[in-house]
Copies of this chain bind each other. A is one copy, B any other.
Amino acid sequence: MGNEDSYVALALKVWKAQIDRADKLFGSLSSEEVQHEIAPGRNRLLYLWGHLTAVHDAMLPLLGLGERLHPDFDVVFVSNPDKSHAAIPSHEQVRQAWNAVNGELSKGFEKLSWSDWLQRHSAVSAEDFAKDASRNRFAILLSRTNHLSYHLGQAVLGLK
């Protein structure tokens, strides 16, 4: 394994570890438990789970891995705060979307070579990328892993 491979493999390992933690945490909740708030008046666990699903779904086109599976999640879980919509996707819909989106990402990651990770992501133009080469796929992977950790730290507070 060359050096470049090592960095990518490590970052993917950390991503996978956080996904596994989230799978365990959210996957074990009952339909009553996903309605728990992480703190009084704060987001519910279902909202956090849907939010993470929406943000991961957006990684598919951002990393050039395909079309989004659930663009409809954005209005409920990204553009608006929790409890602002009367109807949000059900527990089962969020669970299925979470699994589908992360499965699709995982398949896409397998097809990327280490040098693909240093190519620009789709939200930056070729012109801007020429000025700042740090706006690449690897940066997205690192920042989304940290985004997941950030909300995992909150989600554990909603357990029990």
Please give the residue numbers on chain A whose beta carbons come within 8 Å of chain B beta carbons, in ascending order.
1, 3-4, 6-11, 13-14, 18, 38-40, 42, 114-115, 118, 133-134, 136, 138-139, 142-143, 145-147, 149-154, 157
Contact = CB atoms under 8 A, between A and B. Distances in A.
Contacts of A8: 7
A77 B125 CA distance: 45
A24 to B, nearest CB: 15
Nearest to A155: B153
Copies in the complex: 2
A11 B150 contact: no
Contact of A146 (B6, B18, B38, B134): B18
A11 to B, nearest CB: 6
B14 A142 contact: yes
Contacts of A147: 149
A146 B143 contact: no
Contact of A134 (B10, B18, B150): B10
6 contacts: A3-B4, A6-B138, A18-B146, A39-B39, A39-B42, A152-B153
A142 B11 contact: yes
A74 B118 CA distance: 38
